[in-house]
Amino acid sequence: MIELEHKSPAAAHWSTQQYGGMFANRDSERPERFILVVEEADEVRMETTSGASHRLLAFLVAHRIDNEWELENIVVAAESRRRGVGTRLLREFLDQARAKNGNTIFLEVRQSNHAARALYRKFGFVETGARKGYYPTPPEDAILYRLTFY
For the chain, how are helix, strand and coil distributed in percent, rounded to 5?
A: 30, 40, 30
Residue 104 CB partners (closer than 8 Å, separation 6+): 67, 68, 69, 146, 147, 148, 149
State the average pLDDT over residues 59-87. Answer: 87
pLDDT band at 78 (very low <50, low <70, confident <90, very high): confident
| Dihedral over Cα of 32, 38, 44, 47: its sign | positive
Q: Is 120 a catalytic residue?
A: yes
Does position 15 have pLDDT exceeding 90, yes or no? Answer: no
Q: What is the pTM of this model?
A: 0.75
| DSSP per position, 83-111 | TTHHHHHHHHHHHHHHHTT--EEEEEEET
Alpha carbons 95 and 89: distance in angstroms, whole number: 10
pLDDT for the residue 83: 84
Q: Which residues contact 65 (CB under 8 A, 6 or more apart)?
A: 31
Is 108 assigned a catalytic role? yes
Whether the CA torsion 99, 101, 103, 108 is positive or negative: it is negative
Annotated catalytic residue: which of 5, 72, 120, 145? 120
pLDDT at 30: 59
Distance, CA of 12 to CA of 6 (rounded, Å):
9
Phi, psi for 114 (deg, rounded to 5): -65, -35
Calculate mean pLDDT across residues 28-49.
63
Average pLDDT, the chain: 81
Q: What is the widest separation between alpha-carbon atoms in the chain?
A: 53
Higher pLDDT, 106 or 46: 106
Residue 35 has pLDDT above 80, yes or no: yes
pLDDT at 96: 92
What pLDDT was estimated at residue 49?
44
- Could you tell me which CATH class the domain 2-148 is placed in? alpha beta
Domain layout of the chain by residue ranges: 2-148
Percent pLDDT > 90 in the chain is: 42
- Catalytic residue chosen out of the listed positions 108, 127, 135, 145: 108
What is the model's pLDDT at position 148? 96
Q: What percent of the chain has pLDDT over 70?
A: 70
Instruction: Provide mean pLDDT across the span 120-140.
Output: 93
What is the per-residue pLDDT for 36?
A: 83
